[in-house]
Amino acid sequence: MAHEIYPLGLKIAGRLVVVVGGGPVAARRARALVEAGARVRVIAPDVCEELSVLAQVSPPGAVELVARAYRAGDLDEAWLVHTATGSPTVDQQVSDDAERARVFCVTAGDASVGSAWVPAVARTALTDDAEVTVAVTAGRDPRRATAIRDAVAAALQSGTLPLRRRRPRIGKVERVSDTRSTSATSAGAVERASGRVWLVGGGPGDTGLVTARGRSVLAQADVVVVDRLGPRALLRELSPDVEVIDVGKTSGNHPVPQDEINALLVQHALAGRDVVRLKGGDPYVFGRGGEELAACREAGIEVAVVPGVTSAVSVPAAAGIPVTHRGVARGFSVLTGHDGAAGVPGGADHTLVLLMGVTRLAETADALVTADRPADTPVALVEDGFGPRQRVTVGTLADIAERAAAVGVRPPAVIVVGDVVRLSPAWAQQAR
Q: What is the 3-state secondary structure (H, E, C) of the chain?
A: CCCCCCCCCCCCCCCEEEEECCCHHHHHHHHHHHHCCCEEEEECCCCCHHHHHHHHHCCCCCEEEECCCCCCCCCCCCCEEEECCCCHHHHHHHHHHHHHHCCEEEECCCCCCCCECCCEEEEEECCCCCEEEEEECCCCCHHHHHHHHHHHHHHHHHCCCCCCCCCCCCCCEEEECCCCCCCCCCCCCEEEECCEEEEEECECCCHHHCCHHHHHHHCCCCEEEECCCCCHHHHHHCCCCCEEEECCCECCECCCCHHHHHHHHHHHHHCCCCEEEEECECCCCCCCHHHHHHHHHHCCCEEEEECCCCHHHHHHHHCCCCCCECCCECEEEEEEHHHCCCCCCCCCCEEEEEECCCCCHHHHHHHHCCCCCCCCCEEEEEECCCCCCCEEEEEECCCHHHHHHHHCCCCCEEEEECHHHHHCHHHHHHHC
Choosing from 91, 128, 227, 282, which is the catalytic residue?
A: 227
The answer to whether 376 is a known catalytic residue is no
The answer to whether 274 is a known catalytic residue is no
Choosing from 74, 206, 246, 249, which is the catalytic residue?
A: 249
Catalytic site positions: 227, 249
